[in-house]
Structure 1
């Protein structure tokens, strides 16, 4: 990246999306980018949905316990009001927000903010999840991170639910979900369908 382009990229607002399956390092990458921005003395604000309090009410925490201070919010509109002075806005677990998050991120980027969004791109059935597909479409930069398939060792992009339950939103850990590659995910889904029949 040449120096001129780098300056332009930093000065203008834009949206970055970090997506992938569970256990792929999405939150870890979000925290890494936000800590770099803090180190550069930029005004950084971090938000997550109030639904996600698995590790901490007040922090964004990765599976391997790296964390950064955050604020839980009920609705994306709150982020617009709360982040008015921020230069960099981080949003974790974006899939749990509704579609209004897309417009909120767009407004912040249009106002000159760097918006970094992390979330699951697919639910446990392999279906695009919440506002993530639309965010990926409008983002300047999309990073898809992968876990390792626990069954065959290939790159995994699917979050397979091990426990029974049809609700799309079910917060979980290693006991409830496993990262799988496409082939192993399809085999697991087929096995589940045969059990149900």
Structure 2
């Protein structure tokens, strides 16, 4: 590994951090994550990306936005694997964080306490409008939280909910526009 003192100094002087990008489906969370990763690469920071193995919608070894942009990543079974596979990168990104276990906030704190910039993207609420997985705890410990909104497909207002079109009670149901649509509070509840 090549040690770049300037980059190491820049990251450690500011300390690590946790950033959360959240919102409903189709709000642009993964696109925003990718935008931040592109900027980190321009700054010559090393980047490592993780996602849950359960997310197989587009590509098992890449995070992919709805507009088909992609970044290679490591698919893992649990959040503890992040610490095992971490290779001293300056930036660690985690997509679809809502699917990870309750240990993810502690993993992110461990990395941030080592001076790592941790960027997390995920749904803040499930299809029933309830807080989803470790996302509330991640938002609580983050230095910054960015909440994105989709466009309500019914009225055009900002959408904060992911409305499930298919009947069922299972909390995790992977899908796209055939399964979910973004809705504002009013249209979600009507």
TM-score normalized by the length of structure 2: 0.93
The equivalences for 1:1-197 within 5 A come to: 11-187=14-190
How many pairs align? 181
Per-residue Cα deviation, 1:126-172 (whole angstroms, up to 9, x for no partner): 00000000000000000000000000000000000001111000001
Gaps of at least 5 residues in structure 1 are: 1-6, 188-197
CA distance in 2, matches of 1:107, 1:79: 11
Q: Name segments (4+ residues, structure 1) moved above 3 Å.
A: 7-10
TM-score normalized by the length of structure 1: 0.89
Per-residue Cα deviation, 1:70-106 (whole angstroms, up to 9, x for no partner): 1100010110121141110000000000110010001
Secondary structure in structure 2 of the residue aligned to 1:80: helix
Gaps of at least 5 residues in structure 2 are: 1-9
Distance change in 2, residues 1:22/1:49 (3 Å): same
Secondary structure in structure 1 of the residue aligned to 2:181: strand
CA distance in 2, matches of 1:94, 1:183: 27
Distance change in 2, residues 1:9/1:127 (3 Å): farther
CA distance in 2, matches of 1:151, 1:10: 48
CA distance in 1, matches of 2:122, 2:13: 23
